[in-house]
Structure 1
Amino acid sequence: MGLLDLFGFGKRKEQMKEAIKNGALIVDVRTPGEFMGGHVDGSENIPLGSVGAQLASLKAKGKPVVFCCASGMRSGSAASQAKSAGIEAYNGGGWMSLNGLMLNL
């Protein structure tokens, strides 16, 4: 058991991996310009400032949502907003790390 497991983060990462395997939506909350510079294949770009307006649409899709950005700060904010709206949401962190994780699933 690692230190992250003591705080429940290890379990949360495993839940996120399982959600991705089962078809979770991947939402990149960076700007359109950042998104065009590279992103996770199949991800949707919803800039952080627009996430609140898109929560009903995301919830209606009935799937968990994994948010990513450049470092994990903006995606953490987006995941928090989504959780408050009743969406199963995860902070996937930086898009490059998430992309690497997905390649190993």
Structure 2
Amino acid sequence: GRCRKNSILALRVGDRWVERVSELRAEIVDYFMTHFLESVNNRPTLDGIEFQGLDPVEVLALTVPFPATEIEEVVLSSNGDKSPGPDGFNFAFFKRFWGLLKDEVGVLF
């Protein structure tokens, strides 16, 4: 069945075939560790560079809730046929049912 189709029964590593489960696991882990290992030496650093910080008023402004009118304006002015979000709904859905959803969505902001 499906489990069989999703199984890796053997891998060719170099000039040999690996079939034992423990060796398969080790080779797969080794491949991905090598493939995704990041070399830290080549990264640029920002040592000695001073960045301007935010003053307390600006920090507080970052936590102010969005006004309901602004949220509604964004939803209704958006292009509805774009890709759906992580919840599976696109803006066409939200625009069509905004009257029902605005209070529920507003709670999130």
Q: TM-score range by the shorter chain?
A: under 0.3
TM-score, normalisation: structure 2 = 0.23
Structure with more strand by fraction: 1
| Structure with the greater alpha carbon radius of gyration | 2
Larger RCO (CA under 8 A, 6+ residues apart): 1
Greater per-residue helix proportion = 1
TM-score by length of 1: 0.23
